[in-house]
Copies of this chain bind each other. A is one copy, B any other.
């Protein structure tokens, strides 16, 4: 892991960009916390990329740093400046065509759109986690928050170092993610935007039901896909503070 830039945000959070092979990302550490600190891996929604998501990610990072928790994010495969495979381009074209025609988005399209992203990004998250946990200032425990829900579910199944996850119940969940959900046992905090027209609400409720976790919370609010109210974000921060500190 190589740090390529370093700056201190106004509230004393240290922000460092890093690269790790092909992976690029950002690490935020609390300036004044006792180290080693817990860590939250910040997932990202598909397609936007780290630059567009930066303001929201930095806001979450500052809130976590105020709790003495470090955060890190990495660019998703096929996002930002990263190359996009011909198969993924085709899947995106097929998705747009289905949406424009007002046709249902088939499981086949969802699988082709999502599963390659899951298969590639989960090992990248694990390699990033290996490197982050070697830093003296990062100790764990580790949580995963937000982003593509199929990635969060896969990580919750395969990565025992992740002890709690905050998930956003978005659209386009592969069928295989439901099967994986039945094997998730860590504490979960799931956000659902109740009036999100681009989201299949019943599917989100079914996925929440599928998780085997004894401790899981569903927090549903109004405000549309991007209108998660501030109090719901604060509730997510408290979830991680409870489980990581």
Total interface residues in chain A, CB < 8 Å = 21
Is A48 positioned at the interface, with any CB of B under 8 Å from its CB?
Answer: no
A222-B231 in contact (CB<8A): no
Chain A interface, >50% SS class: mixed
- Which chain B residue has the least Cβ–Cβ distance from A242? B231
Q: What residues of B have a CB within 8 angstroms of the CB of A183 in the complex? A: none
Q: What residues of B have a CB within 8 angstroms of the CB of A215 in the complex? A: 222, 229
A222-B215 Cα distance, complex, nearest whole Å: 6
B218-A220 in contact (CB<8A): yes
Are A217 and B209 also in contact (CB < 8 A) when A231-B238, A231-B242, A235-B235 are? no
Q: Which of A168-201 contact B (CB under 8 A)?
A: 194
A220-B242 Cα distance, complex, nearest whole Å: 17
A208-B221 Cα distance, complex, nearest whole Å: 11
CB-contact partner of A194 in B218, B221, B229, B239, under 8 A:
B218
Q: Which A residues form the contact surface with B (CB < 8 A)?
A: 194, 205, 208-209, 213-222, 229, 231-232, 235, 238-239, 242
